[in-house]
Chains A and B, each alone.
Chain A
Amino acid sequence: DAMVIQNPRYQVTQFGKPVTLSCSQTLNHNVMYWYQQKSSQAPKLLFHYYDKDFNNEADTPDNFQSRRPNTSFCFLDIRSPGLGDAAMYLCATRDRGQETQYFGPGTRLLVL
């Protein structure tokens, strides 16, 4: 089945130690999104790619970076995780001309 895959499902890192979360899709969608979701809150958009065009939200911390080497893969890099970065990170895709977003299962990040 076509889907959005996130690895790992759970990630533990140390304060200040760089971490990378990955997302892949078999849907061949041209738009990919990264959201941060803290407990009992709404998903908050960090950035998105429209094809190779990168779009950063104004309030996304500089600590967060992203790479999209090809259509299928997108990475979220957190350069120096702080305790406040512990959250669920959700990847989503959307097809050109469509409105529905398709979400992966998320990666829960714990910062020690």
Chain B
Amino acid sequence: SQQGEEDPQALSIQEGENATMNCSYKTSINNLQWYRQNSGRGLVHLILIRSNEREKHSGRLRVTLDTSKKSSSLLITASRAADTASYFCATDSSASKIIFGSGTRLSIRP
């Protein structure tokens, strides 16, 4: 079953602009993770935010988590062509497995 819904489904921005993706989920979570997937490749872990955290930074990435609204956002600042990929949120509510959201396809125009 799909836990997370992401919006927008697709996003196209100019290089150098910021990109914001949102994720909503349904049940209580231990943590929420964001992964990136380049076309035809496996997923790469970007950042994890725990249920007791509200904001986390890693390089050009900023993640927020609002457990009362069951939502998270991923902000990529100063986007680059290499950021073109699909981005998935994934919620961890049990010990061994995570459930992925529907994903956002991000395209960076040069």
Contact = CB atoms under 8 A, between A and B. Distances in A.
Given A48-B97, A99-B48, A100-B33, A42 B41 contact: no
Contacts of A63: none
Contact of A101 (B41, B45, B103): B45
Interface string B1-27: 110000000000000000000000000
A51 B93 CA distance: 20
B5 to A, nearest CB: 10
A106 B42 contact: yes
Interface of B: 1-2, 30-31, 33, 35, 40-45, 48, 88, 92, 96-103, 105
A42 B88 contact: yes
A47 to B, nearest CB: 10
B96 A101 contact: no
Contacts, number: 56
Contacts of B33: 99-100
Contact of A31 (B2, B31, B96): B96
B102 A41 contact: yes
Contacts of B45: 100-102
Given A41-B102, A94-B96, A99-B30, 6 more contacts: A43-B100, A45-B99, A55-B97, A101-B43, A102-B45, A103-B43
A50 interface: yes
A103 B42 contact: yes
Contacts of B96: 31, 48, 50, 55, 94
A89 B96 CA distance: 19
Contacts of B40: 88, 106, 108
Given A43-B100, A45-B99, A100-B48, A105 B2 contact: no
